[in-house]
Structure 1
Amino acid sequence: MRFEANSFFKRVHQLMIANHLHESNAVKPSLLVTKTTEVSLDVLKDDIKDELKCRFPEYIANSVNCSGTTNTAGMVVCHGSTAGLPDFAEVLQIMVVHNKPVYVIRLKIAWYNQHLRSFELENTSNEQVIEQKDLPDFYPLATYTLAGRHLVTLKQHICLPY
């Protein structure tokens, strides 16, 4: 690296790296879908089925990769906020509509446990269809179970309104 002390060689080295990065396929596709399955909408609940029939075709995927982040059914995502606290939902199904992911989610009731510094989650029967672009953050959250409680921990900058 001593040759880089000379500004000419340093510039040549930087241009070589820039050229290599430009020529290689270093940029990930914005959406990568794997293992798609075409299924009938008859396997879904009636209210979800009706909404889907109105809005989307019948393409369901097991997982999608959005800008390098893989999302699969069963993961928990933040889907908004209420009174300054995040709202959570479990991803039940992922559909691809016009090359964009759409999620069937089950809303969760959440309350903050200050002692554990985590949110405790409880299931509801409310299900919705939401497009990925409408999620404040599509990054899946880490969930775990402790003493029979379903918990999720998140960093301050995720999901919270500014």
Structure 2
Amino acid sequence: MDLNQVIFREAKIQDLDRIVYMLSDDVLGSKREDYKQPLPDSYINAFKSINSDPNNELIVACYGREIIGVQQITFTPFITYQGGSRATIEGVRTAPSVRGKGVGSELIKWAIQRAKKRGCHIVQLTTDKNRPEALHFYEKLGFMPSHEGLKLHL
């Protein structure tokens, strides 16, 4: 695969089926996603909400006509850091056929450049503690485990 031929663009509603499939195609994702045909309305509603929010971008990586990766980037203005903005990367997945071929690294690098263009002072992300290989992957890209994160599921 020639990574120079991978393009990144904002997702379209027609991409949603492939996106949800990729999100559900691993051990953890299969427990929390509901990939079926037709897709549940909750995914369509979420897409519309993301798509209409200028501080959210759902980005797909494409190789030819095939969607081979996805990530969501949220830009959040903060009072801290003298009123700076942060970019949060979520929902990063690559298609099984391209795992280990550099597509994930290119997705993250693209998101970092996007954050710079938007004037962000920091890029942050989380990864599940049950994914030690993902933690290693992000650390190789320069991310540091600088904070402890907490979640409360509602």
**TM-score bracket, shorter-length normalisation:** under 0.3
Higher helix share: 2
Higher strand share: 1
